[in-house]
Every structure is written in structure tokens, then in C-alpha cells.
Chains A and B, each alone.
Chain A
């Protein structure tokens, strides 16, 4: 697992490639704790958002088990009125949570940028 400093540096690279980047964090699924994060908006409670999204990931995994789906969860996309939220699984125990402004960004750019730097978060 990368050190916190590397995580932050990697998020800075991701942010540079996503217009409308708001915030991102690397989250421990089990506890919902953040291992590192980068935010451009002080009013965005990234720690809380990360924690609640970890519950969502766990619920989704539970649903998959209940449906006996023999596959893995890759990512989850949420489209809000003015934001796009992406959850990208990094490892069995961590995921990236990223929020971007919908007016200036799009899902393709976000996915490309996150996938490009994904190895830095493993």
C-alpha cells in the first residue's frame, strides 16, 4: 500500500487531468477510514462522504453475493444534479472515491484519468 504522501501526490496528478475535480480519497472498505485524500473544496466533507460510500460498497458486495454473481465489482458511478461521483475499486480492501463537477467534466475523462493512475494506489 502506498504511503499517504504518495497517495496525495497521485491524486494531485489525477486532479490535474480532470477539469472540475472536487475531491478524491483512498478509502479502507472495512472501516470507511481514508488512507489519503485531496480536496479542492473546504465545504465538502470528504471523510464523511468516504465513510458512507464504504457502506454502499459493502452493501453492493452483499447484493452480489446474494445474487450469487460470480464476478467482481469494478466501479460504481453516481450522477447527481451537478456532480459526478465515481467509486473505483483498487484492491479487495480499498477503493477510490472521486467527486467532480458535472458541468465541466464527464465520466469518460474521469475514468481515463483514474485508470491511468490506478497502479499508484495499489
Chain B
């Protein structure tokens, strides 16, 4: 995990690792002067008065009922309640995949019922858990991907920012990582054609686009090819989920960030025998699902992660 940004942010790698065990509810993003900045969902969001704000939630895993969190419906509802309580109303929401646990109709229905209560346009990309119906992704496409290309990729513009939703959970190869594939990469190249290098770009996909931890498959095989296509742009922000913990780094003009899950935490890379759901004591669940505020500014600005648990 190399990082090209200096240590002026004052947050040591160890501190970041400590923070990674939190599972929060969402990350609020704001775009001011073309540079997306992630804010906490609570206090700092309320202080934000200018620019466009949007929200990222991830990995709601509706249908999961194992000890790590037997009631993921409740925690998703709490996340949405937080969204509704924001003083600064976000323009829209991104969901970076694993909406459901097993791609069942009831799981999709429940997720839709709860998430729609935020009253925000929500743009989705699928996680690997959303495409495990018998037809391998048909249900997802019927619900969320009607106007999308391929397995569900698309782009849209909002307030001068170009948003690109990518799919890196289909046609995975044995022994490999997440996969975009030649067809999607060709589409991406075409999508970016003619865009000014000063256009702020936000890319969102389920599995991290950069390699976080190869042993656990936390990365995207051909993510580098997508990043090469984005190289000429002055501001690129890559938002992912999948690993149920916050990780971030800055490399050149690209800021990478993974969001927490609304369902259950996963261990830090290598901290457990497998990346499976991490069980914390019941009385601690709300504290690890609590809100972690992230203030993240490209370049010289300070990066701060502040733990704000739901309880405790």
C-alpha cells in the first residue's frame, strides 16, 4: 500500500489501521472548486454550506443474518435515518454494491424500501452478492441497470462533475482479482473522449480499483488500465466498497477511498485467517457501526478521521 502523499496530514498509517475496524453508515462527499472532499456524515456535514454534496453508502448486505450482525435491516435503517437528518441535503446518493446478501427478490425489495426513504436519487453499481441469482445478474440489471451498458456500467454528469459507475464483479478469473474486462475499458475510453482535463471525475465501483490486499482478492486485475485512461485529468476520485472498512490514499491526481459497510465489519488485511464477517461483542456493535467522520483534502490539507459511534 504505497502512498505518494506526504505526512503533513498528521495521521500515521497505524492510526489509519486502527480506524479501519469501524463500520460506519455512510460517507458524505462535497465538491467545492472541483475537488471532492469526504466529510463525516454528522457535524462537519452540517457545517458545510457551499458546493455540491452527495452521499456514499455501501455493502448493506440485506439478507445477512449471521452473528456478526443478525439485524442488518436495522443498521441500514439507522444509516438512512442519519442521511435524512443531515442539515445539508445531499444532491443524490451512491451505493457501491452488495445491496443484498444473496440476490433474492425479497432482499432487493427490502433494500429498496429502506433506501428510498432517504428521498434521494440513488445510483448503484453491483457487488458480487448482487449477481448470484440463477441468471447471474439478471435481477440486478432489471432493477438498476436498465439504462446501463454491459453488466451495468454507465456515467452521468452533475454540477460539472463527471461520475462513472463501473462493474468489476463479473467474469472473474480463477486466481485473479476484480475484473473490468476489455468491453468496459473500451467503453470507458470512449466515454472520456472529448472531456476536458479539468473536468473533475468521480469513479465508483464495488471492489477497490487499486490493489489493497492481493491475498484476499482485494483489488482489480485491470484497474491500472482504467486509471491510465484517467491520468490526464486533474482531479480523479475513486470510491469503492467491498472491504467494509475505510482505506484511503492519494496517488498523483487520484484520490482513492473505500467506504464502510452498513452491515458488518471485516478484518484489516491479514489480521484474520480470512476476510469473513468480523464478530464484535454485541454491546460493541453499535460502537463499530458508529459514524466515522472523514475529512479528506487533496494535496496539502490535513486528513482527519474522527470516530463518532452511534452509541457509547
Q: Do A and B come from one complex?
A: no
